[in-house]
Structure 1
Amino acid sequence: MLYAKLVTSTVPHAKIKRIDFSKALQIPGVVKVVTGKDFPYRVGMYAGDRDLLAIDKVRWVGHPVAAVIAESLESAEKAVDLVDIEYEELPAVFDPLEALKHDAPLIHEKMEEYRHSPAFKPIPGTNIANKFTLVKGDVERGFREADVIIEEQFYIPHVSHCYMEVQNVVAHYHLDGTVEIWTSWQNVAPIRQIMALSLGIPHNKIIVRIPYVGGGFGGKAGLGWEALVAVLSKEAGFRPVKLVLSRREQFTVAAVREGFYGFAKAGFKKDGKFIAYDVKFILDAGAYADYTVNVGRAVGYSADGSYDIPNIRVESLTVYTNKIPTTALRGFGYPESHWVLEQIMDRAAEKIGLDPAEIRRINLVKPGISETCTGERLREDAGNPEKVLQTLLEEIEWNVPPEKPGEPWKIRSKGLALFVKGPAQPPNAAASAILKFNEDASVDLLIATGNFGQGTITGLIQIVAEEFGLPLEKIRVDYIRDTHKSAYTWQTVGSRGLFTDGIAILRAIEDAKKQIFRVASEVLRCPEDHLELVNGEVRVKGKPWEKIPLQDIVMGYTYPNGNSIGGPVIGRGVFMSTHTTYLDPETGQGNPTIFHTFGGAAVDVEIDLLTGEIKVLKIVQVLDLGRVINPLLVKQQVNGGSLMGLSIGSYEQIKFDERGWVVNPNFTNYYLIRIKDIPKEVVWKAVETAQSDGPYGARGVGELTMIGIAPAIANAIYRATKVKINQLPMNPENLWKAFKEQRPDLFDEALKMFIESKKLVEVRA
């Protein structure tokens, strides 16, 4: 095994004049040093905009320029420090608003040469990696008819995924042209597809294997390091090569979530009806935008959230800057669009004189009647948003005033936010499943569903066990996903795994049952539709004594005289969406998703007006999941998503200096939620409006549990103080500044009460 380390750029934007690695080659154990000129490949899933290593110029501080391959990790690390690179610096741009100006430095001069999906619209000659537009109704007329108009600007900084297991790859390029990949990624199929398209290797020559993965959160769904490490293996004499990023590199080299601006104008009637919405989203994609172009699309078509808005216009721009490349993160654009929308709802309620819950009730979509902003009519069984809202209000005791804190400079408040989530995927994002029986009627389930802590595999195993009447331990899913052995699944992303793969599995089960019942009907001498599977036996309905063990059938049944019928039972099932479409490039109209999961979050918070500290005491989440397959797994998704939403909303931020360097690339300075920050209560309730084509009526849950937390907290602050929180994170520093700037009277009164309380303590003493 050889080890690779990356040599990265120390400047944000520059031409590469010279690379001297002669000293690095003198380190004992160093096998080779390679540069971008050795690999003239461009890789990507949607935008195809990235070189394996920088060619001709670098685009951010941390851009890999060269790679050292050595016999040991220690040798590779020593050699990295000895690679000398001479740069000719170019003007850099770090703000996407500046990058949009006509005289801004171009980060990608040859964008027209990039291969990209037809769903996206890059604009060569600019820094716009993708422009998404959506138009429904007549926005200008809507504003003319509006009685109240709200205009606001919002911001969200870059954040890191902070998964436990850092990105790592082992690749072995064999002499026969076969490439074996072991990686900590979320999905096997996209890796093979990217490598085949970019490196020109036939699909059947690429073997991708993924074991259990220590967290993903979307950060291991897009473009990884597999193609690079594969060609490093080839360059190193067809020996296996291993690359493991350091935690620092996770903050400075690996992709993170994009920075975000939202500019919103909303029009309401005096009765609270939301009649016009004009919003512009600008995503700071960093130096490469391969996956973020799709985030920009999703943030655009999720702009209307849970509401029926007749007139809406969206422009979403994914913009290159000289910062870290960006990618997906849990929620995939929906947390960003809802950060804007859900605060607009509270601001409008205040201005009109309505309760925040009531203005939401007035504008809720009605499944079977309402159309989304893309013109898709919501199916009747899409969910019950009204019941979600009502249940949320009951669980948080919305109309019961919260208890007053012990210190008079602190206040309590409740806030809420509604949300919806659907998978962002291409129309042909398929899934498949194969199940085969063993001699003892145990089942091997062959699927490519990613397993990185979300619990989907458990739910899928439950489905198989339920349908065959078998104990869970008789169902086996190999812990390694393997493109040569697993059935095909497009990706495990977008909260789609249980839905799409579950449907494929149910169809594989149906296929297997037909084979089983065909044999059993001959043995038991009754029609196939009179048979059922119970506790691992095929029985005649109503005659449980007429039965045959499943294990006597699944390899073929043998009569006492030796005659045999049937054969090994292998079930096959597929899922392919039949109603999703591409969106119109000019209007954004179409059917982008296979389901909509509606939900709501509410919080009870304590606000310290002196320090800006927010203590979340209780979180309530209500989710219309169609049908809950495993309540314990949903509970854990709610717990994890709530805390992740609280962490990103209240603490997390990648900070850059004026030269584009990340100044907090570690867990000492990048603040995450701690044990002391966890609320006393995290409660969830299910609303079950079964979707007829879902597995048992179920819909996805994984991502949506973090979407509503940040806007609910911001709304709680606004409800109590009328202080607008338009920027994340809501840490004490930012909130203290907001209180001082927007409500100095409130701050002064709190300070006065604090001083008086201290005097009272002194008098008593």
Structure 2
Amino acid sequence: MDYNYVGKGIPRIDGVEKVTGEAQYVQDISFKGMLYAKIKTSPYAHALIKSINTSKAKELPGVKAVLTGHEAYQKLGIYIVDKPILAVDKVRYFGEAVAAVAAVNIDIAERAIDLIEVEYEPLPVLLDVEEAVKPNAILIHPDLGNYKTIPGVFFPEANTNVSNHFKLKKGDIKKGFEESDLIIENKFYVPQILHVPMETHSVIAKWGTGDKIKIWSSAQSPFTLRNLFSIALNIPMENIEVIVPYIGGGFGGKAGIHLEPLIALLSKASNGKTVKFVATREEEISTLPCRQGLVATIKTGVKKSGKIIAEEIEYLWDAGAYADYGVNITRATGYSGAGPYDIENVKLDSETVYTNHLFGTAYRGFGHAEIFWAIERQMELVAKKLGMDSLEFRLKNLLRPGSITITGEPIHEQSGNVIKCIKTVADRIGWGKPKSEEEKALEKKTGKYRGKGIAVLHKAPAMPSNAATSAIVQMNEDGSLRFNVAGIDMGQGSYTAMAQIIAERLHLPIEKVHVVFETDTDEAPYDWQTVASRMTILAGNAVIEACNDLKEQIFDVAAIVLRAAKHDLALGDECVYVKQFPEEKVYYSEIAVGYTYPNGNGIGGPLIGRGNSIAQGLTILDQETGQGRPALDWTFGAHAMEVEVDTNTGDTKIIKIVTAIDVGKVINEMAVKGQIVGGVVQGVGTAISEELKYNKEGKLLTKSFVDYKIPTMQDLPGSIEVHCIETPQLDGPYGARGCAEHPMISITSAMGNAIADATGVELFETPFTAEKVYKALNEYKH
């Protein structure tokens, strides 16, 4: 039988359960006597809480608990502890939770929320990130200097709105600009956007006797949730059990910790009753985190030959009211903030800035989709100033073996090939092919002009050196196998990839490899977090090590049974055999839980393999220069896009997108191409329509899908073409590296470049709505 599963397009092992509705999510779970929670949120973006009267809510029959910030006083924070469980004394964004209730049903809970009376005193609102960094700006967090953080990694600036300032210096920036023949500076803008998972945030919690707490959550990172919960509520970690069933999407929005402590405290206040909270779509949009906004300023110095000599960059991140993952996004985009370019002199400042917007968190791409909008538009504009083809310009400057990154890391042959990626997409889009006279005439007649754009991308996992993972593989009595990794498969297909690796290494039909989908911190092996596109490389390596461990145990038992040396044994079809005498074999089912001789003697025992993996070689970066080794591996890629712009209306139609990602090695062809297409489509949404909007008082205006537009079928490109480049990663499983986040990076850049190619209009802000493009066209004409 052929056991070469790696590289093949195996259907998702969770597919049937999901399409039939058998898969159980937190929203599907209920318990006898369970209570239901609702939250009351602020109608102000910035205000003092003068008083909260909960007496009417407490008197309502069916209400079992009411909490305000003074009862739920603890603060949360994965990197900076700055967010109260419920607002205390003041609110910092529209939609912030100020009170919560638990009642016997949803209707009573909602009525109780309406009965809670809150008196506010509005404060000045700070919505502009550039205003927020000025010396005289109002302070969103006057106590920032006293907040707990990770010293030496994050650098909050007391008495400012900057919760982290990442600095990077390479070479001599002053000398670099002095030697430049041309200097180009531009500013770019990216708004906040939403994660839009199909499943909203959902939590069930029970605070049991002896402070034993059980939590069911739609969380991406159960062990991190347990750790942060323990710290926030000062509960021993061994008292906390986190269970994560199936998840309906996360995209970073379900990493870290959010509503779990609040629901647990409601359970405690209800004398240990189980309490459930499922966010409505409006709560998901208004109260739970979004993707940060960005203002990016890039100044580039080049030689007439096209070589980049110097680059000075400032990233101002609109973190909103609380830091959450924002400070680490600032760091991660700082050390990769010049893109995959070989630049001798770089000065970069990346700052996380508080405003009175909805707070930001991790989002697919971890800030890279935002910075690459600026980076790749800047590259296009610089090439135009030089009068040079933008593909040629990029090829002169891209990283290649022998190059040094802006943090001082050397690029090797196995580091990935961004040049091959961009050449692939450029060739497939027909880059440089001139339009025929007939095509030009048709464009002029209809007012619909076509253009092409290209953009590159890169990203490395943003994680500390202790970002470890582990895996367990265990034989069942019949010789089948079950495996458990605590990294969460929320739709990316990683469990299927793990199953393929196991089936190939242990010579099992993949149908006989079963995954434990529900992750329970009391039972599952440890995993740091399911973020940073790290599952394939780290969990993959852990699974391989677990298979190797199991294989050694199989050989130990089989060597005794078959009376052969271990080096004379090999794996066959669900069996172990002697190489010289293949007919001498023992099946897995005979030794899975111990082998029994004809006389009744037993040897061996249950076969359980254990493996682990950790990020190797990462270092803390220098506080002033950003130099060090922050990256486990770099994944490179590129997009090319052809669009058609209707100059009569400003509507932009995407004709074709070509994407090439250097994945190192394809583990599951079907899954990786699905990931890439999904990421491209998500990127299209950020390019054409997605944007959180506020009024001047900071009230969120886009509170539903009526106002917040996500792509529909009619918005999708006419064609999406995917190419997987394979430059094997030395330390990756079978040479693979992560690619889950990368496909949505630089989609906005490629589209902006294509619109400029079609019309001559240069855009500096996303999204490219018809109104925005039409206005720019009119300004361009005049």
Partner letter of residue 398 of structure 1?
W
Cα distance in structure 2, aligned partners of 1:397 and 1:687:
19
Query: Which amino acid letter does the alignment assign opposite residue 396 of structure 1?
Result: I
Alpha-carbon distance in structure 2 between the residues aligned to 1:329 and 1:447 = 23
Letter in 1 for 2:498: L
Q: Which amino acid aligns with 1:453?
A: G
TM-superposed CA distance for 1:63, in Å, is 1.3
The answer (yes or no) to whether the contact 2:645–2:758 under 8 Å persists in 1 is: no
- The CA deviation at 1:483 is 0.3
Whole-Å Cα distance in 1 between the matches of residues 594 and 412 of structure 2?
43
Residue 582 of structure 2 aligns to a residue whose secondary structure is strand
Distance in 2 (alpha carbons) for counterparts of 1:466 and 1:10: 56
**Structure 1 SS opposite 2:347:** strand
Of the three residues 236, 239, 256, the one matched with 1:205 is 239
Structure 1 Cα separation of the partners of residues 359 and 715 of structure 2: 30
Matches of 1:379 and 1:188 in 2, distance apart? 35
Q: Amino acid of the residue matched to residue 697 of structure 1?
A: G
2:655 equivalent in structure 1: 617
Amino acid at match of 1:261: V
Map of 1:149 onto structure 2: 183
Query: Could you say what the CA RMSD is over the residues aligned between the two structures, in angstroms?
Result: 1.4
Distance in 1 between residues matched to 2:781 and 2:751, nearest whole Å:
18
Distance 1:629 1:543 in 2: 33
With the length of structure 1 as denominator, give the TM-score of the two structures. Answer: 0.95
Choose which of 627, 635, 647 in structure 2 pairs with 1:597: 635
User: CA separation in 1, counterparts of 2:177 and 2:257?
Assistant: 42
**Are positions 1:230 and 2:264 aligned together?**
yes
Question: SS of 2:392's equivalent?
Answer: helix
1:699 match: 737
Which residue number in structure 2 is paired with residue 375 of structure 1? 408
Unaligned runs of 5+ in 1: 745-765
Conserved? CA contact 1:223–1:291, under 8 Å: no
Which deviations, in whole Å up to 9, do the C-alpha atoms of 1:365-410 show, x marking residues without a partner? 113x112111112243111222212222222221334673665311
Residues 690 and 696 of structure 1 are in contact (CA less than 8 Å); yes or no, is this contact kept in structure 2?
Answer: yes
Q: Establish whether residue 512 from structure 1 lines up as the match of residue 550 from structure 2.
A: yes
Q: 1:387 aligned to 2:425? A: no
Match of 1:501 among 539, 548, 556: 539
**Residue 560 of structure 1 pairs with residue 598 of structure 2:** yes
Residue number in structure 2 paired with 1:749 = none
**Counterpart for residue 323 of structure 1:** 357
1 CA distance for matches of 2:307 and 2:556? 58
Cα distance, 1:559 vs. partner?
2.6
The match for 1:732 is 770
Aligned to 1:277: 311
Q: 1:523 aligns with which of 539, 555, 561?
A: 561
1:539–1:396 Cα change, 3 Å: farther
Partner residue in 1 for 2:430: 397
- Contact preservation (8 Å) 1:556, 1:568: yes
CA contact (8 A) 1:289 1:318 kept: yes
Distance across 1 between alignment mates of 2:575 and 2:432: 54
Q: Secondary structure at the match of 1:38?
A: coil
**Pair 1:306-2:340 in alignment:** yes
1:183-202 paired onto structure 2 within 5 Å: 183-202=217-236
CA deviations on 1:306-363 (whole Å, 9 max, x unpaired) are: 1111111110110111111110110001111211111111111111122111111111
The correspondence for 1:117, drawn from 131, 146, 150, is 150
Asked if the contact 2:166/2:331 (under 8 Å) is kept, the reply is yes
Distance 1:431 1:459 in 2: 16
2:676 matched residue in structure 1: 638
Which residue number corresponds to residue 757 of structure 1? none
Q: Given that residues 304 and 372 in structure 1 are in contact (C-alpha distance below 8 angstroms), is that contact kept between their aligned partners in structure 2?
A: no
Q: Give the alignment partner of residue 369 of structure 2, picking from 325, 335, 355.
A: 335
Cα drift, residue 87 of structure 1 = 1.5
Residues 150 and 348 in structure 1, CA contact (< 8 A), matched pair in contact too:
yes
**Contact residue 468 and residue 535 of structure 1 kept, 8 A:** no
Change in Cα spacing, 1:487 to 1:273, as seen in structure 2 (3 Å) is same
2:102 is matched with 69
Matched residues, percent identical?
44
Aligned AA (2:224)? P
Change in 2 beyond 3 A, CA 1:8/1:699: same
> Is the counterpart of residue 3 in structure 1 residue 36 in structure 2?
yes
Cα distance in 1 for partners of 2:722, 2:382 equals 28
Larger mean Cα displacement after TM superposition, 270-279 or 533-542: 533-542
Asked if residue 456 in structure 1 is aligned to residue 494 in structure 2, the reply is yes
Alpha carbons of 1:402 and 1:450: their partners in 2 closer, same or farther (altered >3 Å)?
Answer: farther
**Matching of residue 287 in structure 1 with residue 331 in structure 2:** no
Rounded Cα–Cα distance in structure 1 between residues aligned with 2:499 and 2:304: 52
Between the aligned partners of 1:595 and 1:544, the Cα distance in structure 2 is 42
Asked if the contact 2:229/2:257 (under 8 Å) is kept, the reply is no
For each residue in 1:251-301, what CA deviation from the matched residue of structure 2 results, as whole angstroms up to 9, or x when unmatched?
111110111100110111111111111000001111111211111111211
Asked if structure 2 preserves the Cα contact closer than 8 Å seen for 1:446 and 1:485, the reply is: no
In structure 2, the partner of 1:259 is 293
TM-score (norm: length of structure 2): 0.93
Q: Pick which of 5-14 and 655-664 moved more.
A: 5-14
AA matched with 1:384: N
Instruction: Give the structure 2 partner of residue 762 of structure 1.
Output: none
Cα-to-partner distance string for 1:411-439 (whole Å, 9 max, x where unaligned): 11111101111111112100011111111
* 2:761 is equivalent to residue 723 of structure 1: yes
Q: Is the 8 A contact 2:64 2:103 kept in 1?
A: yes
Distance 1:32 1:561 in 2: 65
Residue 37 in 1 paired to residue 70 in 2? Answer: yes
Say whether the 8 Å CA contact 2:457–2:742 is kept in structure 1: yes
Q: Is 1:171 aligned to residue 209 of structure 2?
A: no
> What CA distance in whole angstroms lies between the structure 2 residues aligned with 1:554 and 1:380?
42
Are the structure 2 counterparts of residues 279 and 431 from structure 1 closer, same or farther at C-alpha, using a change threshold of 3 Å? same
Is this contact kept in 2: 1:302–1:337, CA < 8 A? no
Among candidates 93, 113, 128, match of residue 95 of structure 1: 128
- In structure 2, the residue corresponding to 1:413 is in which secondary structure? strand
Cα deviation code 1:36-60 (max 9, x no counterpart): 1112211111111111101111111
User: What residue ranges of structure 2 are gaps of 5+ in the alignment?
Assistant: 1-33
Higher mean C-alpha displacement, 535-544 vs 574-583: 535-544
| 2:666 aligned partner, one-letter code | V
| 1:251–1:662 Cα contact (<8 Å) kept | no
Alpha-carbon offset, residue 542 of structure 1: 5.7
Letter in 2 for 1:227: P
Alignment match, 2:11? none
What is the match of residue 61 of structure 2?
28
8 Å contact from structure 1 (residues 299, 336) kept in 2: no
Q: Given that residues 9 and 64 in structure 1 are in contact (C-alpha distance below 8 angstroms), is that contact kept between their aligned partners in structure 2?
A: yes
Q: Distance in 2 between matches of 1:617 and 1:568?
A: 57
Letter in 2 for 1:273: K
Structure 1 residue 543: Cα displacement: 4.3
Tell me how far apart the structure 2 counterparts of residues 215 and 334 of structure 1 sit (CA, whole Å). Answer: 20
The answer on whether the counterparts of 2:101 and 2:266 sit within 8 Å (CA) in structure 1 is no
Contact persistence 2:451–2:756 (CA under 8 A): no
Contact 1:157 1:654 in 2 (8 A): yes
8 Å contact 2:546–2:612 — kept in the other structure?
yes
SS of 2:154's partner is coil
Matching residue of 2:389: 355
Indicate conservation of the 8 Å contact 2:485/2:527, yes or no.
yes
CA contact (8 A) 2:691 2:708 kept: yes
The answer to whether the Cα contact below 8 Å between 1:612 and 1:733 also exists between their aligned partners in 2 is: yes
Q: Give the SS at the match of 2:638.
A: strand
Report the more deviating stretch, 28-37 or 553-562: 553-562
Which region of structure 1 is more displaced relative to structure 2, 462-471 or 387-396? 387-396
1:664 matches 2:702 = yes
Amino acid at match of 1:650: I
Q: 2:216 aligns with which of 157, 182, 186?
A: 182
Q: Equivalences for 1:409-448 in 2 at 5 Å?
A: 409-448=447-486
CA deviation vs aligned residue, 1:216-267 (integer Å, no higher than 9, x gap): 0111113311111111110111111111111111111111011110011011
- Preserved contact between residue 402 and residue 413 of structure 1 (Cα < 8 Å): no
| Pairing 1:59–2:129 present | no
